Amino acid sequence: MKSFHYLVFTLILAGSLSSCTVIRQGEVGVRRKLGKIQPAPVNEGLKVFNPLMTRVIKIPTRTMNIEVRSPLPSKEGLTVQSDVSILYRVIGKDAPQIIEKLGQNYEQVVILPVFRSAVADVSSRFYAKDMHTGQRAAIEVAIKDQMMTQLKDRGFVVEAVLLKSIVLPAGLAKAIEDKLEAEQDAQRMQFILDKERQEAQRRLIEAEGIRDAQKIINEGLTPMLIQFKSIEAFNKLSTSPNSKVIITNGNTPMLIGPDKLQ
């Protein structure tokens, strides 16, 4: 009986001195043993540790998204409001270093401050209207690259910075709308002018074609051809069954129909 009680006591003591945790896909574990961070990360799987001496901190290594609303100062001194998504991930092998130097609240400690510094520096190189046009992609890339310059040696990868829901100052938004409308009107007018120009060109070509055809015909009407055509006309009139009177000077026939003879 004493042996049984000893065995139960031993199992309870062993259970109290050990614990386990599961490191899932998309995360990595960091061991803190007696207050000291262990340099080797804990990879995915079931891990056993002594809870009295060791704590396992789980850090996600999948892509994370930070949503933040940020003012963007422009080159002309205006402020543009924008919702921003920061897509980043932790490099697994650097997770112990991150916990040791930055702690678990690393988003607030380093990522967001670096973002605010980068966005203020980059956006101030562009005009406010550029943030609402095709230049926005260039601004996003420039912010991401500047963040990576400061974060790449700290164990982070910034995958993208996305500017969303950009709100321009009211006066500037109205000016951009008026400009776009004026550009559309100018494009419509240019289309009309091009169409009229093409129509005028078509008429000119048609007139030139008629002129050239008449010129060719006139040049081909030689005296001999005219006399030949007259002979043909006389021949056709002579075979016609209708009564008629033909008056001619030998070159050009003139026909008088029966109604003129009465």
Does 235 have pLDDT greater than 60? yes
Residue 174 confidence (pLDDT):
53
Does 141 have pLDDT greater than 90? yes
The alpha carbon of 81 is separated from its chain's Cα centroid by a whole number of angstroms, namely 21
Cβ neighbour number for residue 147 with a 10 Å cutoff: 22
pLDDT digits (tens, 9 = 90+) for 165-218: 777 665 554 555 556 566 666 777 788 888 888 888 888 888 877 877 777 666
pLDDT digits (tens, 9 = 90+) for 98-139: 988 898 899 999 999 999 999 989 988 888 778 777 788 899
Does 146 have pLDDT greater than 90? yes
Q: Which percentage of the chain shows pLDDT scores above 90?
A: 22
Question: Bigger pLDDT: 241 or 41?
Answer: 41
- Superfamily of domain 64-173, CATH level 4: Band 7 domain (3.30.479.30)
Does 86 have pLDDT greater than 90? yes
Does 158 have pLDDT greater than 80? yes
Residue 14 confidence (pLDDT):
46
Model-level pTM greater than 0.75?
no
CA distance readout (Å), 64 to 14, 27, 147: 38, 11, 15
pLDDT bucket at 18, cuts 50 / 70 / 90: low
Mean predicted lDDT score pLDDT of the chain? 77
Residue ranges of domains in the chain? 15-60, 64-173, 223-261
Range of weakest confidence among 65-69, 72-76, 86-90: 72-76
Which residue has tokens 């080159």? 75
pLDDT digits (tens, 9 = 90+) for 54-67: 788 888 999 999 99
pLDDT bucket at 147, cuts 50 / 70 / 90: very high
With 0-12 / 13-18 / 19 or more C-beta atoms within 10 angstroms meaning exposed / middle / buried, residue 41 is buried
Selection from 118, 3, 102, 107 nearest residue 65 by Cα: 107
Which amino acid does the sequence have at 94?
Answer: D
